[in-house]
Structure 1
Amino acid sequence: MTRIEDTRTDMSTLTEQNGTRPGTFPEALAALAHRYGDQEAVVAPEGRITFADFARRCDDLAGAFAAAGLRPGDRVGILLPNGLRWLVTMLGAQRAGLVAVPINTWYRSAELAHLMSTAGLRLVVTDEQVFGKNMPAELAAAGHGELFTGGRHTRGYLGTLLWPAPEPFPPGVVPGPAPAGAVTPDDLAMILYTSGSTALPKPVPLEHGKLLRNGRAMGERMHVRPGDRIWFAMPLFFGYGACNALPVALSHGATLCVQEKVEGDAALEFIERERCTVSYGLATAVRALLAAPSFGTRDISSLRTGPVGFNAEDKRLAIEGLGITEACSAYGLTESYGFVTMTDAHDPLEIKLHTQGTVLDTQRIRIVDSTGAECPPGVTGEIEVRGCVIDSYLGSVEINAGTRSADGWFRTGDLGAIGEDGRLAFGGRWKEMLKIKGINVAPLEIEAIVTGHDHVDQAYVIGLSTPDGDQEMACVVVPDAGWSAGEDELVRRLDAHIRGCAASYKVPSRFVVMDSRSVPQTDTGKVSKVKLREMLEAAR
């Protein structure tokens, strides 16, 4: 039976008060303010703040929200770039017992309208301009153009509260005493919206207690400790930030060093100056650092640990290229409160490169076949999880259809196998599986083979439809910087390389050589296979 449970003892006691671990974000911040009050909590574009000041600002905003008529359970949207304002709004709302709803800053009016209609927001905190977009105008086009005025305490939508970057507190509200005892571990802390690469984004409700429990477990695998400094430049509204890096920081007393976005040279200078020790960068961020002109001249040797990507080449770039020797390979999703499995920071390199580690003590995992029967060790099937996992998406019955097994496990739609040693080997997305000449082919397998070639930097395998209902396998390749022999020669060598490693039906029928800057990305910094497929279909 392929079901693994980690019984390792949780040794994280960094934020305990009177022998009891904090169960909510506000309790965790209060404990850190009490224990590490004069130490830095956040370094951000708007400045620096200690844990004590961070807690005071959140208390003040919580009181202002309460005075404005917001009550526990009400939902507040956060439409701001990474920074102090974002974090204070998140923790301030939660301190008042409110539910924070981070909003994708790349959304335009149609996407905002969908979120506003499903989230039930009572207030949105934003700025006049966010990454060059007029946010009040975008919200107005989405049907929510009201600006917040302090005198209106209706039960409906209160409007948009503008918070300019230079201001330490939003000008439209007045600090006040924070309400007492407004939130419990079982209450919702936030609602995150999935990326929506293949469908409309789904609202994912996340509870305080599970966020902190999984945050402790993730931090332990990375050996995060008080005084660590987390570099984070991916969007905070993304699950990688809000339900991963943030709870890790709050449960371990780490400083969040945030930038608004990933820019290679600026990031290297920031990491060097702030002596960041924990790297929270996706594969695209790692490549941006390595490609920056100043790479090699900046001292980023302080980086020690952090999560790394799915495929072996991306992991190797982070571990060997950036020198993050205690990096951890991991598997997880927003619906599972971050990671489900992780390697340990001190595991051997080969284990990190080729597995996603063992299950956290907050989670359970199993592998099942198409009938729902559990797979034996080493056999690939669908990954199902329990533990720190959502009960359901918010919304209609239809949005939750097919997401649970008959016995209550969450169906991830991902493929994987668990070895005799209990380590998960990720196999890609079930829906990304290709049917080539009637045979299932996993894109991740082919991508691993192609990136194993000496002259390939990146590879992305996708399926293109054919008139006979089959699929044509296409491979987008980004050559390394040293390749100069031309596209035709690279394709010839890759064809021979794959044939030497795998069956002939696994050789892509089409190769597309592309510059790394031309590879499309999602709003959250991942490579978009949907957009790649559209590009290749249009070029036929």
Structure 2
Amino acid sequence: MTDHNERRNDVVVPDTFPDALAALAKRFPDEEAVVAPEGRLTFAEFARRAEELAGAFRAAGLRPGERVGVLLPNGLRWLVTMLGAQRAGLVAVPVNTWYRSAELAHLVGTADLRLVVTEKQVFGKDMLAELAAAGHGEVFEAGARADGYLGALFWPSAEPFPSGLEPAQAPEHGAGPDDFAMILYTSGSTALPKAVPLEHGKLLRNGYEMGERMHVGPGDRLWFAMPLFFGYGACNALPVALSHGLTLCVEERVDGDASLAFIERERCTVSYGLATAVRALLAAPSFGSRDISSLRTGPVGFNAEDKRLAIEGLGVTEACSAYGLTESYGFVTMTDASDLPEVKLHTQGRRLPTQEIRIVDKSGAVCPPGVSGEIEVRGCVIDGYLSGSDVSGGTHSPDGWFRTGDLGSMDGDGRLSFGGRWKEMLKIKGINISPVEIEGILGEHAEVDQAYVFGLSTPDGDQEMACVVVPDERSAAEDTELASRLREYVRSRAASYKVPARVVVMDSAAVPQTHTGKVSKLKLREMLEAG
């Protein structure tokens, strides 16, 4: 195994996803590449199936640079479609499986899709009906037409190949490192989702550096049960796996007991679960009776409590705290797997070799160490969104840095401390307050399991601070008693204007989530405003 205390300078990172897969198929032909609901593939089998699908796409009339939607659950078909499209020189566009007709219409139109690979039922939804309601109800027919939208290409889960296509020889040349590998769509919680185009070379270079921080390599097995169609999967876990020869152990979704059994059976070593996934595993009835001691490393959440649950609760002792976004090809900063626990709990680590980071104030001046401001990044970062200057305007500083809209500070050792979203900052009686700060205080209380702070509009046009807390299972206090106790707890540790005006105690099952498994503060706000 490589000594990760010393950086390897002799590694040549492949230029494209298909190049990476081909290299792994040559080096580890009989080793498992994928374990998924539809079965298992070795690296050689994975590469062969991607090659055959690439040839079929070309035979169907698709040409390099054109775009193919991937509207499938996590699994073999999703991965083979992604790599097959890229091997043909196409751009893969992972589609959110929770989308309905209006969202599909926006995506098909802005991405200019030529084809959507899907199945007739995805998580109980009639996909052809949804596409038809979006104005794209055509079904793919081989040889029917050569241009425009070709329709939905169905791939049943029990079949080795999509219906209506035949395996064919792959083209001699595919994509290059500067070509788009994929287009991902942001979650769009406050506006229409933005299309984020990502290049092959940057994905693999940053993926390699992320893997180095986690100390992973051939033989490691990466557990992934979050949606592959978002950045955490497609531009983070996937390039890490392809650049380091990991086995992808994929589930369609997180299911506490079933996921624990899966991790135990497959001896997964790398945990790629968001905070909600970690909590689901810890809350499962079979937790404690399943042997998940194989878990060793992987990314962990933003706040100290979420990180502690992964490190101490699940036993991911070499976990890495990180900061990043889809637009930055995954992570920008990470702690090292060997860093001390306090470094992991209270910082997001140092920048990756592929990235640069700075903190600036409202005037654009760089902040000194310890002073909070907006996080700006450059390096493996997008030049702009797909939709053009109307969407991309204002996303870059005059000197070319990407403006994240996130708050943070850097210490004297170059480690980042994340301070939350700039747009989530509260202004209470003219004073700025970071929700992350108050969530951190509440998270230290013995009776609090989760805390979510946000602003509510008041009739006079101001804001009041509200907080939803999920009590720890050991708490026996009544809701009103606990709410009062927590307000006094914050008052004893912070200025009086940082005490939440409203504290609502809520059962964890009632806390709404986004389709990516994150807690939705927008929906929490709507719930409280509706009374």
TM-score where L is the length of structure 2? 0.98
- The alpha carbon displacement at 1:417 in A equals 0.1
Task: Summarize deviations over 1:316-341 as a string: whole Å, max 9, x none.
Answer: 00000000000000000000000000
Paired AA for residue 241 in structure 2: A
Q: Say yes or no: does 1:121 pair with 2:109.
A: no
Report the counterpart of residue 332 of structure 1 in structure 2: 324
Partner of 2:204: helix, strand, or coil?
helix
Q: Structure 2: how far apart are the matches of 1:171 and 1:133?
A: 19
Contact kept, 8 Å, 1:340 with 1:363, in 2: the verdict is yes
Report the counterpart of residue 276 of structure 2 in structure 1: 284
What is the count of residue pairs matched by the alignment? 527
- The alpha carbon displacement at 1:467 in A equals 1.9
Equivalent residue for 1:11, pick from 8, 13, 20:
8
Q: Structure 2: how far apart are the matches of 1:130 and 1:34?
A: 34
Contact kept, 8 Å, 2:72 with 2:118, in 1: the verdict is yes
Report the counterpart of residue 75 of structure 1 in structure 2: 67
Report the counterpart of residue 412 of structure 1 in structure 2: 404
Contact kept, 8 Å, 2:13 with 2:243, in 1: the verdict is no
Task: Summarize deviations over 1:321-373 as a string: whole Å, max 9, x none.
Answer: 00000000000000000000000001000000000000000000000000001
Paired AA for residue 480 in structure 2: D
Q: Say yes or no: does 1:182 pair with 2:174.
A: yes
Q: Structure 2: how far apart are the matches of 1:135 and 1:162?
A: 10
Contact kept, 8 Å, 1:162 with 1:171, in 2: the verdict is yes
Partner of 1:444: helix, strand, or coil?
helix
Task: Summarize deviations over 1:388-438 as a string: whole Å, max 9, x none.
Answer: 000000113210121010101000000000000110000000000000111
Q: Structure 2: how far apart are the matches of 1:172 and 1:440?
A: 58
Contact kept, 8 Å, 1:335 with 1:389, in 2: the verdict is yes
Report the counterpart of residue 504 of structure 1 in structure 2: 496
- The alpha carbon displacement at 1:516 in A equals 0.4
Paired AA for residue 329 in structure 1: S
Q: Structure 1: how far apart are the matches of 2:216 and 2:301?
A: 19
Report the counterpart of residue 362 of structure 2 in structure 1: 370
Q: Structure 2: how far apart are the matches of 1:315 and 1:147?
A: 46
Partner of 1:176: helix, strand, or coil?
coil
Q: Structure 1: how far apart are the matches of 2:13 and 2:513?
A: 39
Report the counterpart of residue 93 of structure 1 in structure 2: 85
Q: Structure 2: how far apart are the matches of 1:64 and 1:119?
A: 21
Report the counterpart of residue 28 of structure 1 in structure 2: 20
Contact kept, 8 Å, 1:77 with 1:121, in 2: the verdict is yes
Paired AA for residue 313 in structure 1: E
Q: Structure 2: how far apart are the matches of 1:305 and 1:485?
A: 36
Contact kept, 8 Å, 1:42 with 1:257, in 2: the verdict is yes
The runs of at least 4 aligned residues of structure 1 exceeding 3 Å deviation read: none
Equivalent residue for 1:460, pick from 435, 443, 452:
452
Partner of 1:27: helix, strand, or coil?
helix
Contact kept, 8 Å, 1:57 with 1:92, in 2: the verdict is yes
Partner of 2:110: helix, strand, or coil?
helix
- The alpha carbon displacement at 1:153 in A equals 3.6
Report the counterpart of residue 266 of structure 1 in structure 2: 258
Gaps of 5+ in 1: 1-7
Report the counterpart of residue 62 of structure 1 in structure 2: 54
Q: Structure 2: how far apart are the matches of 1:253 and 1:182?
A: 21
Q: Say yes or no: does 1:424 pair with 2:452.
A: no
Paired AA for residue 78 in structure 2: W
Partner of 2:468: helix, strand, or coil?
strand
Report the counterpart of residue 37 of structure 1 in structure 2: 29
Report the counterpart of residue 322 of structure 1 in structure 2: 314
Task: Summarize deviations over 1:437-492 as a string: whole Å, max 9, x none.
Answer: 11100000000000110010000001001122210000000001111221122112
Report the counterpart of residue 5 of structure 1 in structure 2: none
Q: Structure 1: how far apart are the matches of 2:453 and 2:487?
A: 14
Q: Say yes or no: does 1:382 pair with 2:374.
A: yes
Gaps of 5+ in 2: none
Q: Structure 2: how far apart are the matches of 1:250 and 1:507?
A: 47
- Flag the 1:10–1:95 CA change in 2: closer, same or farther, 3 A: farther
Partner of 1:213: helix, strand, or coil?
helix
Contact kept, 8 Å, 1:459 with 1:475, in 2: the verdict is yes
Contact kept, 8 Å, 1:12 with 1:252, in 2: the verdict is no
Paired AA for residue 397 in structure 2: S
User: Using CA pairs below 8 Å that are at least 6 residues apart, which structure has the higher relative contact order?
Assistant: 1
Partner of 1:341: helix, strand, or coil?
strand
Partner of 1:244: helix, strand, or coil?
helix
Alignment of 1:94-243 (within 5 A): 94-243=86-235
Report the counterpart of residue 41 of structure 2 in structure 1: 49
Q: Structure 2: how far apart are the matches of 1:176 and 1:56?
A: 11
Percent identity for Structure 1 against Structure 2: 76
Could you say what the CA RMSD is over the residues aligned between the two structures, in angstroms? 1.0
Q: Say yes or no: does 1:254 pair with 2:281.
A: no
Contact kept, 8 Å, 2:218 with 2:245, in 1: the verdict is yes
Report the counterpart of residue 3 of structure 1 in structure 2: none
Q: Structure 2: how far apart are the matches of 1:458 and 1:180?
A: 53
More deviation, 476-485/260-269: 476-485
Q: Structure 2: how far apart are the matches of 1:125 and 1:304?
A: 35
Partner of 1:267: helix, strand, or coil?
helix
Report the counterpart of residue 305 of structure 2 in structure 1: 313
Q: Structure 2: how far apart are the matches of 1:121 and 1:9?
A: 44
- The alpha carbon displacement at 1:9 in A equals 7.3
Partner of 1:453: helix, strand, or coil?
coil
- The alpha carbon displacement at 1:10 in A equals 4.9
Partner of 1:171: helix, strand, or coil?
coil
Paired AA for residue 268 in structure 1: L
Q: Structure 2: how far apart are the matches of 1:255 and 1:137?
A: 35
Q: Structure 2: how far apart are the matches of 1:60 and 1:267?
A: 32
Contact kept, 8 Å, 1:12 with 1:216, in 2: the verdict is no
Task: Summarize deviations over 1:487-537 as a string: whole Å, max 9, x none.
Answer: 122112211211111111100000110000000000111101111111111
Q: Structure 2: how far apart are the matches of 1:187 and 1:316?
A: 39
Q: Structure 2: how far apart are the matches of 1:285 and 1:387?
A: 30
